[in-house]
Amino acid sequence: MLIVVAGMPGAGSSTVIQHALKLLRESGEGFASASSPASASASAGAVGFKHLNYGDVMFEIALQEGIVKSRDEIRKLPQTTQQEIQRKACDRIAALSKKENIILDTHCTVKTPFGYLPGLPAESLQKLSPRLFVLIEAFPHEIARRRSSDRTRERDVEDEKSIEEHQAMNRAISMAYACLTGAPVKIIENHDGALEKATTEFAELLTRISQNSV
């Protein structure tokens, strides 16, 4: 099974995933993150999920091929180069998803110099066959502030209006993804000071899915 969790840079998708898996591990729900094999902690009826970041897989490929030095250079590469790496990464992820349950941390669209690039074009959706799309959202002013305080990345500086446009594009394309796959779209809000609420909501969703009640 593969679940897509998408959020624009600064929405906090990676943080919500990490915190939810930690919460489930600590509460003995039998979920696992990348650092603990699914089989090690799986309890009766529960399903282990591995947290996999699409950007990590793309960066690994681009690094091996000597195309970039940092992950934030990927979205500035020529269109066809990005699409080629995207396809290679998709094949790797699809192969992994045959063996284990995956939470795929990625973006609905990537903002590039030549426009919004679909993170999951039809060919990728067919290969990955997601069960559910989860969108992690925050207010544009929260995203702008989080980006400006993130020293670990070369985040794009964008005004609130363009962040709002990007988030609207992500919502729109997520419903196209839903149409192409039949999988539903769940929106989880991750506002400042409310990470615990977002984490709990996502953890409960994973529990329901593992019990096959979603």
- Pick what 169 binds: ligand AMP, Mg ion, none; C-beta below 5 to 8 Å, kind-dependent: none
Q: Does residue 134 interact with ligand AMP by CB under 6 A?
A: no
Written as one letter, the residue type at 113 is: P
- Pick what 18 binds: ligand AMP, Mg ion, none; C-beta below 5 to 8 Å, kind-dependent: none
Binding piece for ligand AMP, criterion CB under 6 A, among 15-23, 70-78, 141-149, 197-205 = 70-78
44 burial level (CB within 10 Å; 0-12, 13-18, 19+): exposed
Q: Does residue 52 interact with ligand AMP by CB under 6 A?
A: no
What are residue 97's phi and psi, to 5 degrees?
A: -70, -10
Rg of the Cα trace of the chain?
A: 17
Question: Which residue is associated with the tokens 């999988």?
Answer: 183
Q: Does residue 15 interact with Mg ion by CB under 5 A?
A: no
Would you give the distance in Å from CA 213 to the centre of its chain?
Answer: 22
E strands present in 89-210: 101-106, 109-112, 115-118, 132-137, 185-189
Using CB under 5 A, pick the residue from 1, 14, 84, 165 that binds Mg ion.
14
- Pick what 54 binds: Mg ion, ligand AMP, none; C-beta below 5 to 8 Å, kind-dependent: ligand AMP
Using CB under 6 A, pick the residue from 74, 188, 198, 203 that binds ligand AMP.
74
CB of 208 to ligand AMP, least distance (A): 25
- Pick what 107 binds: ligand AMP, Mg ion, none; C-beta below 5 to 8 Å, kind-dependent: ligand AMP
Closest C-alpha to 111, from 49, 163, 171: 163
List beta partners, residue 101.
49
CB of 211 to ligand AMP, least distance (A): 29
Closest C-alpha to 20, from 211, 210, 209, 204: 204
Using CB under 6 A, pick the residue from 102, 103, 110, 144 that binds ligand AMP.
110
CA distance 169 to 174: 8
Q: Name the DSSP class of 76.
A: G
Q: Does residue 7 interact with ligand AMP by CB under 6 A?
A: no
**Minimal CB distance to ligand AMP: which residue?**
55
**Residues binding ligand AMP (CB under 6 A):** 9, 53-55, 58, 71, 74-75, 86, 106-107, 110, 117, 119-120
**Residues binding Mg ion (CB under 5 A):** 14
